Amino acid sequence: MSRHLNGRIYSGIALLAVSFPLLIVAHHYGMFVASMTILTLGEITALPAISTYVDRFAPETQKGRYQGFVQGCAASGRALGPLVGAIIIDGSSYRVLFVAATVVITIVACIHAVINRTWRQPSQAD
């Protein structure tokens, strides 16, 4: 599974990004279920791969520090996400929230792609 680490990260992030626009056009319960299923598959695919990626490329003496940072960021997102989402919904609409989530996820994927290409050594290519 670690041979295709970047593939898992990018496909998981793509699934996450696709799930939110699907909610914009969801008018039936089945579409909501489909969107949540896609979101869950994205989380299952990407999130463990991110921890594996950090473990693989962090310096040996700093692995715990970097893993703690990743988990701290994830916990912060889970804690602040509902608050930020509620503020966006209160100030505008669900549509704006879902578009904003898609844009943020896409930006994060692009940042990862740039960092991955810039810092990764050729011998570590996946």
| Domain parsing of the chain, residue ranges | 2-120
Per-residue pLDDT for 4 more than 60? yes
pLDDT higher than 70, residue 124: no
Q: Is the pLDDT of residue 22 over 60?
A: yes
CA–CA dist 27, 114 (Å, integer): 37
116 touches 53 (CB < 8 A): no
Residue 22 is which amino acid?
L
Contact 67, 54 (CB under 8 A): yes
- Number of neighbouring beta carbons within 10 Å of residue 123: 5
The Cα 22–Cα 3 span in angstroms is: 31
Query: How sure is the predictor about 116, in pLDDT bands with cuts at 50, 70 and 90?
Result: confident
